[in-house]
Amino acid sequence: MQQTLELLAPAKNLECGIAAIDHGADAVYVGAPILGARAAAGNTIEDIRQLCQHAHRFLARVYVTVNTLVYDHELATARQLVEDLCEAGADALLVQDMALVGIVREVASQRGVKMEVHASTQTDNRSAEKVEWLHRLGCSRVVLARELSIDDIKAIHERVPYVQLEAFVHGALCVSYSGVCYASQYCFGRSANRGECAQFCRLKFQLVDADGRHLDHPRHWLSLRDLSRIDHLQAMAEAGVSSFKIEGRLKDVAYVKNVVAAYSRRLDEVVAASGGRFRRASLGKVTLAFTPHLHKTFNRGFTGYFITPKETDIASPDTPKALGEFVGRVKELRRDSFNVAGTAAFSNGDGLCFFDKDHELQGFRVNRVVGNRIFPLRMPAQLKPGMGLYRNADAAMDKVLSRKSAERRIPLHLHLAVSDGGLLLSASVVGQDVICKVEMEGAFEPAQQLQAANMERQLSRLGNTCYEAAEVIVDDAAAKCFVPSSTLAELRRRLVERLDQKLAQLAKASQPAGSGEGLAHTAVGSVPHPPLYDTFSYLYNIANAESRLFYERQGLKDAGEAFELGNTVADDGHSPAVLMQCRHCVRRLLGCCTRDGGGKPSWREPLSLQLPDGRRFRLQFDCRQCQMLVYAEN
C-alpha cells in the first residue's frame, strides 16, 4: 500500500502560510486567535479562512493549534472558537487539553463536517500505549515526543500501524518533554502550557555541586542546538512517520520559505527513490528562484537529537543565540577592517558573530566589502586573528527571499475533442486520478487550415491560475473546426472553474483512514503514563472540570489540579516540584554518562543550577530511564 508523506510547515500569519504552501508544504499549522501554544502567533478567523482556500487548491491542509490548557471560564469561548474554525474550513485541530477532544468531536458532529483531532506533542507522547489510547479517544494523529529515536518510532508504528504519526524534523528544541515543563510558570508566572513560555532553558546558570563548588564558568547548561533531520527523512518514513513537522510559528517568512523549500526538495527525492512506495500528500510542482540553504536562516547549530544512537552533540551551552553558518577564520586585522581565511563571499549588511576569549558571543554588522576585505560598521574590540567567524544574517539571501521566490502550479493534461453537441475539453491532473470535463455546444464551421497550433496556444494560457499545461492534445476533428480564440478562452475559463470546484470538493472530503471514533466522553481504559505521574499528578495538566471528569471516567480518581492552578508540590504535599524531564543530561555534557562509559565524576552530587539572583534548581539523574530531572529547591 502506498504511503502518503506530508511536509507540515509553521505559519505565524497568513503571509507565512501562503509562502509555505507555495514553497512546497503539504500542510501548514497556524495559531488560533486564542488558546494556541504560542500566544504571540494568533491569527484571525478570516485569515485562517483565506489560508484554507489557498491551501485547498493544491489539496494541501490547514491545521489550527488550540493546544493550551483551558480554564473553566474559557470552555464556552473554546466551544465557539471550534465552531468558527469548522466554518472557516480548517482540516484539523491540535489539542492538549482533554476537554477539547470532546468539544471538537461534538461540534463537528453537530455541524456535519469532518474535523480531525490531532494530539499535540504537548500531551507527552512517548510510548505506543499512549498513542493507542489517544487514538481510541478520537485522535486520528499523534505528534510524537521529539526525544524518540528511529527505533522508538518504528516500535510504536508496528504496535499501532493505523494511527498517523507526526514527528518534528527541524527547528528549535524544548529541553523538557513537551507539556510537562513548569519552569517558566514557577519562576516567572508565565505558563508554557498557556503559550507564554519565558525560555527558562535559554538562561545562563552556574553549575554547583553538593559542596558548593562551581564546576565551570556560568553557561547555558540547558540550551540545545536546533533540530535538523533532513538527512533522516527516508529512515523516518520507513519507520512509520507520515507527517514531517517543521517548528517555527514565531519565525518570519524568509525562514519559512528557505526551510520549507529545502525539506520539500529532499522529500521529493525520498519519494522518487521509493519505487512507488511513497507519494506526496498534495498536488503541484514547485519552481524555486533560489537554492535553499538551511544554515542561512536562523539556527543555533544543528543536531539530530537522539534520532540515532550516535547523536551526542546536542547542546549549545555557550550561547542560546543564532550562530548561522561557519564562514571561516579571521586572518589579518587592520584598524578598520579584516579579511577571512575561507571561500565564503560577503555582502554589505551581513551579520557576523564570533566567540570572544571569555566564550561570549559577539556580533557586528558588515558596512561594506571590498574584494575579500570586510569593513564593519564598528570594528569589534575583541576580534583576534584565528577566531572562528559565523554569519547569522545573510544579506544576499534575505534580498532573494524578500521577493517572489517560488511558484507552485498543478500540471495538467488537456485534451480537446469534438462531441455530439460541439466541443469537449477535458483535463487530468498529471499523476493523479483527477479528471474534469466541460462542453461547448454549437456547430463550428470548417476551418480553411488546421487550427491545432492556435488551439494549443489558447488553451495553455493558464498564467493567472494555479495550473499549467504540461500537454495539450487537439484531436484531428477538432483541429479542422474554426473556433474563435474568445470561444477557446471561455472554454478554458469554464474548465478552470470546474477544476477549482472539483479540488475544493476533494479537499473537503479527504479524511485519512483511522480518524478515531469520537470516544472522548466514554471510558477507553486506564491512562498510560510514565512512573513520575504517580508522584506528581499535576503532570496530567487538569485545568477545568470537563478535563477532570474525563480523567475520572478513565479511572483516575485522585489526580491533582494543574501546576498553573497552584498545585506545585508532589502528591505527598511537601516534596519539591519536578519542573522539567529531559533527555538532555548535564552529566553527559560533562563527559560522565554512566550509560556511555563516561569518566568518573570529580564532584559530589546532587548538582544544582543557580541563577544570578541565587535561586537554585536541583538536578537528579535517572540513568535507567536516561532522563535528567530538574527540581525546584525548597
CA atoms within 13 A on the CB side of 496: 20
pLDDT of residue 540: 97
Answer whether 167's CB lies under 8 Å from 144's CB.
yes
Handedness of CA 363, 364, 365, 366 (dihedral sign): negative
The answer to whether the peptide bond before residue 606 is cis (omega within 30 degrees of 0) is yes
pLDDT of residue 105: 87
User: In this structure, what C-alpha cell is assigned to residue 185?
Assistant: 510558570
Collapsed DSSP state (helix, strand, coil) of residue 17: helix
* CA-closest candidate to residue 272, choices 290, 285, 258, 260: 285
Q: Is the pLDDT of residue 206 over 60?
A: yes
Q: Is the pLDDT of residue 306 over 60?
A: yes
CA atoms within 13 A on the CB side of 270: 26
Answer whether 182's CB lies under 8 Å from 581's CB.
no
Using N-to-C axis directions, what is the helix angle for 98-111 and 75-88, rounded to 10°? Answer: 50
**Using 50, 70 and 90 to split pLDDT, how confident is the model at 345?**
very high
Asked which of 110-114, 187-191, 292-296, 414-418 is least confident by mean pLDDT, the reply is 110-114
Where would I find the beta strands (DSSP E) of 109-203? 116-119, 141-143, 164-171
> 214-263: per-residue pLDDT in tens?
999 999 999 999 999 999 999 999 999 999 999 999 999 999 999 999 99
Alpha-carbon Rg for the chain in angstroms: 28
> 495-536: per-residue pLDDT in tens?
999 999 999 888 877 654 334 444 556 678 789 999 999 999
pLDDT of residue 599: 86
Phi-psi region of 555 (alpha: psi -120 to 50; beta: other; left: phi over 0): left
Helix, strand, coil abundance in the chain, percent, nearest 5: 30, 25, 45
User: In this structure, what C-alpha cell is assigned to residue 24?
Assistant: 512546497
Q: Is the pLDDT of residue 426 over 80?
A: yes
Q: How far is the C-alpha of 604 from the C-alpha of 619, rounded, in Å?
A: 12
Asked which of 40-44, 601-605, 625-629 is least confident by mean pLDDT, the reply is 40-44
- In the predicted model, what is the mean pLDDT of residues 611-628? 95
List residues bridging with 423 in a β-sheet: 418, 440
pLDDT of residue 510: 63
- In the predicted model, what is the mean pLDDT of residues 573-595? 93
List residues bridging with 427 in a β-sheet: 414, 436
User: In this structure, what C-alpha cell is assigned to residue 108?
Assistant: 463537528
Of the chain, the end-to-end C-alpha distance in Å amounts to: 56
* CA triple 98-99-100, angle to 5 deg: 90
pLDDT of residue 104: 92
Q: Is the pLDDT of residue 312 over 90?
A: no
Which residues have a Cβ under 8 Å from the Cβ of 341 and sit 6 or more positions away? 328, 329, 330, 331
pLDDT of residue 513: 38
> 548-579: per-residue pLDDT in tens?
999 999 999 888 999 999 999 898 888 999 99
- Sheet of 578-582, strands arranged across: 206-208, 608-610, 616-622, 627-632, 578-582
- Exposure pattern of 26-62 as b/e (b: 16+ CB <10 Å)? bbbbbbbbebbbbbebbbebebbbbbbebbbbbbbbb
Q: Which DSSP string do the residues of 365-391 spell out, in sequence order?
A: EEEEEETTEEEESS--TT--TT-EEEE
List residues bridging with 368 in a β-sheet: 375
* CA-closest candidate to residue 410, choices 385, 431, 439, 437: 431
User: In this structure, what C-alpha cell is assigned to residue 10?
Assistant: 509553521
* CA-closest candidate to residue 537, choices 510, 511, 569, 513: 569
Give the other-Cβ count within 10 Å of 340's Cβ. 18
Handedness of CA 241, 245, 246, 247 (dihedral sign): negative
Q: Is the pLDDT of residue 32 over 60?
A: yes
What is the pLDDT of the chain when averaged over all its residues?
Answer: 93
pLDDT of residue 41: 65
Q: How far is the C-alpha of 43 from the C-alpha of 30, rounded, in Å?
A: 7
Where would I find the beta strands (DSSP E) of 53-203? 61-66, 92-95, 116-119, 141-143, 164-171
Q: Which DSSP string do the residues of 316-378 spell out, in sequence order?
A: -TT-SS---EEEEEEEEE-SS-EEEESS----TT-EEEEE-TTS-EEEEEEEEEETTEEEESS
Answer whether 174's CB lies under 8 Å from 227's CB.
no
**Using 50, 70 and 90 to split pLDDT, how confident is the model at 190?**
very high
Collapsed DSSP state (helix, strand, coil) of residue 106: helix
Q: What are phi and psi of 49, to 5 degrees?
A: -60, -45
Q: Which range has the top average pLDDT, 109-113, 234-238, 443-447, 550-554?
A: 234-238
Give the other-Cβ count within 10 Å of 231's Cβ. 11
- pTM, rounded to two decimals: 0.94
Q: How far is the C-alpha of 318 from the C-alpha of 519, rounded, in Å?
A: 48
> 149-181: per-residue pLDDT in tens?
999 999 999 999 999 999 999 999 999 999 999
**Using 50, 70 and 90 to split pLDDT, how confident is the model at 65?**
very high
Rounded alpha-carbon distances, angstroms, from residue 389 to 324, 330, 339, 398: 10, 7, 11, 19
Q: What percent of the chain has pLDDT over 90?
A: 84
